[in-house]
Amino acid sequence: MKDLPDTEITLDQAVKFLWEEADILDRQDYDAWIGLWDEAGLYVIPVDPDTEDFADHLNLVYDDHQMRRARAQRLQGGFSISAAPPAKTVRTLSRFVVTASEPGSLTLRSAMHVVEDKFGRQRLFAANVEHRLIATPEGLRIGQKVVRLLNSDGVLTSISYLF
């Protein structure tokens, strides 16, 4: 990992950052979402919510910088059949628990509910989400985001947006 600023990230700063991320995603401002990431960051939605070995297990999403950008472009450009028309979403985040902290980095777990509205139908998804945030000279960035859906095998063909 590259050298991080010797800065302590507070829980308050982290929560405000995650609320900003949720707002950005609900507004479908995917360019702004890409800007929240450290370029070396990894975005994962594993099928098995108990796995820690993402590289050797099946994932709904396993995106590095290039794949995050390509996914965002598909969602914005209408090139994804599952995203036409795009779903409207509302995210609620709660239960923020710090699981690791060191100068320049903070890892926290939270609960997330996503309400999706598409074709006049609403669905609810629940997940435990782990973010590793890093301090950079430009501000906080996402170093890793792991979304552990409660029913990951039930959404294999129905995700048309980013968690």
Partners of 94 in beta bridges: 111
Q: Which range marks the domain in which residue 64 is found?
A: 11-154
49: Cα separation from own chain's centroid: 15
> The CATH number of the domain where 40 resides is what?
3.10.450.50
DSSP state letter for 73:
H
| Global confidence as pTM | 0.89
Structure-token pair, residue 162: 């980013």
Q: Kindly report, residue by residue over 35-50, the tens digit of the pLDDT.
A: 999 999 999 999 888 8
20: in domain: yes
Distance between CA atoms of 4 and 9, rounded to whole angstroms? 12
Q: Tell me the pairing of strands 105-118 and 88-102.
A: antiparallel
4: in domain: no
The pLDDT value recorded for residue 154 is 61
